[in-house]
Structure 1
C-alpha cells in the first residue's frame, strides 16, 4: 500500500526523525482486510486492547478478555468481539454507541501482535468493528508470558485526579503498557509499549516519562500526538487482573539531551495525568512471570 496510509502528523514525525523512506517502505504492510493467516491468530486470542475517546472526549485504553474464539473475523473487513470492558471501565458505555476504535490483539505467549483499526457498532454484549487498517507489528520489546483463566468478579472502580502512591509503584515497576491516541479526524489507535521494569518513570503523581525506542518507522502513536495531545494509558497487574487506566495528554520531547538520559531512547515522551481509574480483578486473565525481551535496553539508574 502506498505511503498515503499516513496522515500529516505521522509524515511530520517521520521527516523529523529522518525515517520517512523507511516509513514509506513499511507502509506496504497496512491492509484494509484481514489476511487469511490472521483469522487463525485472532481466533486463538484471549485479550484485545481497545483505544477510543469517551463521551467527554478523553482517550482511554481498555482490555476486553474472553476464551479463545471471542474474537472472530466475520468477513475480510469485519471483526466481531464477543465481550465488553469490565463494569466501571471508562469505555464500556462508549462501546454501546458507534465509535471509532483502535485495537491491538497481543499474544504474549508467542510474542505476536496485530493492530486492527476501524469503526465499532454495538452487537449485543459485544461489538462489531468494520476495519480500515489491519497490520502486524514485530515482537520487539514484547515480554513473553503464559496466560491462565481465573474467572473473577470485578470490584467497583476507584477514581483519582492523580496517581496515588500504591499505583505509582505499579507503574514504576511496569515492563509493559498500552497507549491509545487519536488523529485530528478522530481515528483512534491502540499500541503496545515494552521495556525492562523501570522504563516508565513516575516524575510526580501527575507526570510520567518513558523512552521512545527504535521501532518500525511508522510513528502511528507519535504522529497522532503531533496533531492531538490526548492519550490514554493502560497498565495491568499480571498477578491479580487489576487494571490501571490513565487519561491525559502527552508530548514528544525531541531534545537529544533528554534522550541521552534514558538508555536506548531515540526520543522521550512525557505524559500529564488528568484522571485515573483502578478496577481490581477487572480481567479474568492471570499471567506467568515474564521472560524479558532481549531487545530491551537497560533502564536509567535513579537516585
Structure 2
C-alpha cells in the first residue's frame, strides 16, 4: 500500500507544529494538495481570461505577474501539464526568468464566482508561443476574501476595446 506523500516543506511543518496543527495537516494535506490537476481544475483554467504567475528572480526576490488572453489561452493537455499560450511582457520580471527549470506558482481566479485554484510547478517548455508547466502541487483556495466581480477580455485591436493609459 502506498504511503501518502507529505506536500509540506520543513518551514510549513515547523509552523504547523508551533500552532499545534501538525497532526491535522498531515491528515488533510495529502488529500487537498495533489500532484496532478483533477479534471475540474483543468477545465477551470481553460475558462479564464487572466492568470496570476508567481516567480522568483535570480536574487531570490518573488514577483507576481499577470498574463491575459482570450478564454482558452490556458489549456491542460493532461493532468500533469498546464500550457499557457501567452508571453510575459518584454522587460517584465517574469520575462527575465521564464525558462525551462524555473519554479512557478499559478493562480486562477474566476471573480464572478469567487472560485480560485492554485498550481505550483516547474517550467518544462518555454518558447515564443508560451510555456508549459509540469504540476507539482494543485489545490483549491478558499474564496472567503474574494469579492464578486466580472472580468472581461478585450483584444487590443478590436474596435471599441479599452485602450491602455499612457
What residue number does 1:20 align with?
Answer: 22
Q: What does 1:1-303 align with in structure 2 at a 5 Å threshold?
A: 2=4, 4-27=6-29, 28-120=31-123, 121-152=125-156
| CA distance in 2 between partners of 1:61 and 1:52 (Å) | 7
Secondary structure at 1:134's aligned position in 2?
A: strand
Deviation at 1:83, TM superposition (A): 0.4
Q: Gaps (5+ residues) in structure 2?
A: none
Q: Would the aligned equivalents of 1:49 and 1:104 in 2 still touch at CA under 8 Å?
A: yes
Q: Would the aligned equivalents of 1:3 and 1:24 in 2 still touch at CA under 8 Å?
A: no
| CA distance in 1 between partners of 2:20 and 2:57 (Å) | 35
TM-score (norm 1): 0.48
Question: How many residues in Structure 1 have an aligned counterpart in Structure 2?
Answer: 158
| CA distance in 2 between partners of 1:140 and 1:75 (Å) | 30
Deviation at 1:37, TM superposition (A): 1.7
Deviation at 1:108, TM superposition (A): 1.1
Deviation at 1:81, TM superposition (A): 0.3
Q: Gaps (5+ residues) in structure 1?
A: 154-239, 243-279, 282-303
Q: Would the aligned equivalents of 2:69 and 2:153 in 1 still touch at CA under 8 Å?
A: no
| CA distance in 2 between partners of 1:119 and 1:75 (Å) | 15
Deviation at 1:97, TM superposition (A): 4.3
More strand by share: 1
Deviation at 1:85, TM superposition (A): 2.5
Deviation at 1:152, TM superposition (A): 4.5
Q: Would the aligned equivalents of 1:2 and 1:24 in 2 still touch at CA under 8 Å?
A: no
